[in-house]
Structure 1
Amino acid sequence: MEPLEHWGIFLSNQVDKNAFIETILSGASRTELSTFNTKKGILFSDIAIDNFIKKEYQYDTVETSFETPRKLRTFSSGERKKVFLNYCIDQEPDYIIVDNPLDHLDQKSRNTITIILQELAQKTQLILLVNRQSDLVPFQVKKAHIKDNSFVLNEIKPIIKAQDLFKANSIPPPLDPIIFSEEVLIKMNNLCVSYHEKPILNNINWTIKKGDFWHLLGPNGSGKSTLLSLITGDNTKGYGQDLYLFGMKKGSGENIWDIKKNIGYFSTAMTDLFQKNDSLEQMVLSGFFDSIGLYTQPTVLQKNIVSQWLELLHLSPLKNKPFKTLSIGQQRLALIVRAVLKHPPLLILDEAVEGLDDENVAMVAQLITLLSQETNMAILYVSHRIEPNIIPNTVYELTPNTTGSTGIVRN
């Protein structure tokens, strides 16, 4: 029997991925992928998993596989991918479109998924879609690069080292500096968190000071999100514990907005919040008012600061373009700038490069590096990946165990 032919396709962020996937699944491909036009396919992706979970909630009868009675939503993110992949296999398709299977996974789960795909490739054709060349699987695939919505299959070329995109000493100053005189921003002493008697965090000791650059690292389910919610003041589990947020002991009568004004926050989920027709300039300006959308007339000085930021990012020509129509990389840069407009004492970047292609990763990495070098903001970078172009000074690593995750500091 002849070996099966697989594809590994590197997608730029400019490509309408959903339209490309629909072209394949509907049998409308006009490229070399037309060999799949008469075959039965299925999609394995984060979006497909989310849609499956929505059906579980809607009908409460959907099962993830013939062997597993548990609902998909009850699994951790890493296990969820493995279980849903088994579900896709059980449908006995001729091929499976595998969309960025390693996203949002820790290294152990990435290795497990890679092994599963290697075994699957022995019996089922795969079309692997990735945004990072490093995520292409180690087994034999026909490789191609799709750059735009023509969906033309181009040859993959080696990654070229990114040029310096931003000038040194070019970070616009804050309009109204947030004054916080103390050196220590966050201090945790022997913090413990559990939910329904299940331990999540155990004896966490961590201090974040002005100007620090941290990488928060830990496998799926280790409690990173819980730790972030303690820092932002949103988690009620911080009450009654030895937790200090910007000089205030949690539960001492502090106002939640007194905490949040000191934090700039970015997460990939924020992109979905800006779906109206606000322009790029308006979206960034909304950072001055901590609003989703611009509902207050900005001052001339505020508009001037935003103009300086857009010039730094080479986005000035796009300032009147609707934010939602920008490329994902441009949106990511703008959202990070929105978070740092006021130079908050602490900047949290949650999965800042997840879902970006190599070119956009390099662009965002340069911005993060510039912020770390030219401001006194403490930066807390949260990611499963070790990015060679993002170099925090210190790592806080969570290690799960049965009594709750413990944390260690690594340089």
Structure 2
Amino acid sequence: MYIKNFSHPELQIDELVVRSNESWCVYGGNDSGIDILLDFLTGRAGNYSVGQYIAPVKPGIISFANQQIVFERELRNDDTDFLDRVDPGTRVYEFLPGYRDFLPLLRALDMERCLDLGYRQLSSGQCRKLLILEAIITGASTLILQDPYDGLDHQSCIELNQALVSLPGDVQTIVFVNNLVDIPEWCSHLALIKAGRLCAAGLRKTILPELHGTSTGHLVTGEKKVAAAPPPTDSVNPDEQTPGNKELIKLRNGFAGYGKKMLFSGLNLTVCSGDHTLISGHNGCGKSTLLDILVGDNPKCYANDLHMFGKKRGTGESVWEIKSKIGMVSPSLHRDHRSVGTAMHVVLSGLHDSIGLYRKIHTQQLKKAQKWLAWINLADKANHPFGKLTYAQQRLVLVARALIKLPDLLVLDEPTQGLDDINRAKVLDFLQLVSDRKLSTILFVTHRRDEHRDFFKHHIKLDSYKAVS
């Protein structure tokens, strides 16, 4: 691959040379311009000029945007309304023609056991591994991976690295990451993008010491002081905060699964106000399913012995009354935000628990949303279509959507996915503030060990409740 004199309003590249025997990692913050380079390589960039360009050979692209395309295709092909059962989606083996010749690779990524599952039965991490396998098996010569470790549990990250290292020598890998800890040890070369320019590119051992010698993220994302605006909690009425020791969740012998496959069983969970709870476990163990049950987005909420905010599910309680007390961020909620208007509309929709904005907005609500957009440093994107924002910007908007009403319960399923070091720390620091001021109670799912903060009082390791099918 060769790029010379690339010019875009958000990115300048004088020259980038990637040879066939090299493995590359491209590192840059959310506002660095790194997404423009990815869009250029994947054919999505516009408004650019380039002096000379030799494209990657037979690229296989695994990005958040491509994952959304697959999801929407599966949604269009959902035949649940015409069947007497839930349509699980395209089977994993149908994505992987000739997979029997790659069984060691499937085993390395722990995906052999998923061959008969439908796409909609996979976790977000399993979906990413599936798309990586699809690209390899269908003959990609260049793998272009955007944040491949986001959404993967620790063991899956190890397995993915082992799989990438063991690829045939004629398969080249280019990884895009926005967190220092995600720069893989196996890459031979490293490119650094900051402040809209490719500012360094060369051997990993030469570039990496320069990065680790700076304050976290400052060298890369110095174009924006992300913490300029204080979190807009000044409008919270102390009388409306959740009183101490109020029971929010009570689940007895909790279970979940689909078809004949059980994900977990025997889970007893009680969460009172202030009981900030961390949930972890391997990909596919049912973490997101558990959260969907708790918030009422999975029909198993009625089969389980579940009380939410003191009311037993299935006893005539109002779903919308329950949702009004919950703010949520999740991969599935992100996927569902397809044609929903502007960034401002999405933040405001958090006041009404809807996907899209269908109610009249008052001046005070608009001012509150403007404050939250300023806090995530996207005030200038308020009127931009949500779908035109980068993945990281979309995720920050969804975080603001969840926080705008400071609900009794914040349900956060991998909320920092796609965020760089500074924005990840900013979200986690705000959750510390939520805990200190007793503004909400946090239920937090993550695969990242660097997100285990001291304010979590409980840690649910869902692997411990693995069900026997």
TM-score (norm 2): 0.71
| Equivalent residues in 2 for 1:172-183, closer than 5 Å | 172-174=234-236, 183=246
Partner letter of residue 234 of structure 2? P
Per mean C-alpha deviation after superposition, the further-off stretch among 97-106 and 235-244 is 235-244
Query: What is the aligned partner in structure 1 of residue 142 from structure 2?
Result: 95
Say if 2:212 is the partner of 1:160.
no
Structure 1 window deviating more from structure 2 (187-196 vs 165-174): it is: 165-174
Match of 1:127 in 2: 174
User: Conserved in 1, the CA contact under 8 Å of 2:343 and 2:397?
Assistant: no
Provide the residue aligned with 2:403 in structure 1.
340
Contact 1:353 1:364 in 2 (8 A): yes
**Contact 1:63–1:72, Cα closer than 8 Å, also in 2:** no
Q: 2:177 matched to 1:113?
A: no
**1:363 Cα deviation after fit:** 2.5
Question: C-alpha displacement at 1:50, in angstroms?
Answer: 6.3
Task: Decide whether aligned partners of structure 1 residues 288 and 124 sit closer, same or farther in structure 2, where only a CA change above 3 A counts.
Answer: closer
Counterpart for residue 363 of structure 2: 300
1:286-318 residue CA offsets vs partner (Å, 9 max, x unmatched): 332333344433333333434544555555555
Q: Is the alpha carbon distance of 1:312 and 1:297 closer, same or farther for their aligned partners in structure 2, counting shifts above 3 Å? A: same
Determine the structure 2 residue equivalent to 1:254: 317
Amino acid at match of 2:22: E
Relative contact order, higher structure (CA 8 A, sep 6+) = 1
DSSP-derived class of the 1:238 partner: helix
Is this contact kept in 2: 1:171–1:374, CA < 8 A? no
Q: Which whole-Å CA distance do the structure 2 matches of 1:404 and 1:331 have between them?
A: 38
Instruction: Name the residue aligned to 1:21.
Output: 41
Letter in 1 for 2:277: W
Q: Does 1:66 align with 2:98?
A: yes
Counterpart secondary structure, 2:432: helix
Give the partner amino acid of 1:139: W
RMSD over aligned CA atoms reads: 4.1
Aligned equivalents of 1:251, 1:214: Cα separation in 2: 25
What is the number of equivalent residue pairs in this alignment? 399
Letter of the aligned partner of 1:399 in structure 2? Answer: D
> Equivalent residues in 2 for 1:5-404 (5 A)?
5-14=22-31, 15-16=35-36, 18-22=38-42, 37=55, 39-45=57-63, 48=66, 54=73, 63-68=95-100, 73=118, 76-77=122-123, 84-120=131-167, 122-147=169-194, 157-158=211-212, 160-161=215-216, 165=227, 171-174=233-236, 183-239=246-302, 241-271=304-334, 273=337, 275-278=339-342, 280=344, 282-310=345-373, 312-313=375-376, 315-316=378-379, 319=382, 323-324=386-387, 328-388=391-451, 390-393=453-456, 394-399=458-463, 403-404=467-468
State the partner residue of 1:408. Answer: none
Q: Secondary structure at the match of 1:399?
A: helix
Q: Which moved more, 1:104-113 or 1:239-248?
A: 239-248
Compared CA separation, residues 114 and 188, structure 1 to 2 (3 A): same
Please state whether the residue corresponding to 1:13 is helix, strand or coil.
coil
TM-score (norm 1): 0.79
Q: Could you tell me which residue of structure 1 aligns to residue 112 of structure 2? A: none
Distance 2:67 2:356 in 1: 30
Q: C-alpha deviations, 1:11-34, integer Å up to 9, x for none?
A: 432323552322699xx99699x6
CA contact (8 A) 2:282 2:463 kept: yes
Give the letter aligned to residue 246 of structure 1.
F
Any idea what SS the aligned residue of 1:220 has?
A: coil
Deviations 1:72-105 (Å, cap 9, x if unpaired)?
8458455655555444334444432233222211
- Residue 359 of structure 1: CA displacement? 2.7
Percent identical: 29
Supply the distance in 1 between the matched residues of 2:49 and 2:97 (Cα, whole angstroms): 30
- For structure 1, the 5+ residue unaligned runs are 406-411
1:339/1:235 Cα in 2 relative to 1: closer, same or farther (>3 Å)? Answer: same
Amino acid at match of 1:174: V
* 2:27–2:178 Cα contact (<8 Å) kept: yes
Quick one: distance in 1 between partners of 2:95 and 2:168? 25
Q: Distance in 1 between matches of 2:128 and 2:365?
A: 44
Contact 1:11-1:131 within 8 A present in 2 as well: yes
Change (3 A) 1:401 1:255: closer
In structure 2, relative to structure 1, the CA distance for the partners of 1:294 and 1:67 (3 Å cut) is closer
Q: Secondary structure at the match of 1:348?
A: strand
Give, in angstroms, the shift of residue 224 of structure 1. Answer: 0.9
Match of 2:5 in 1: none
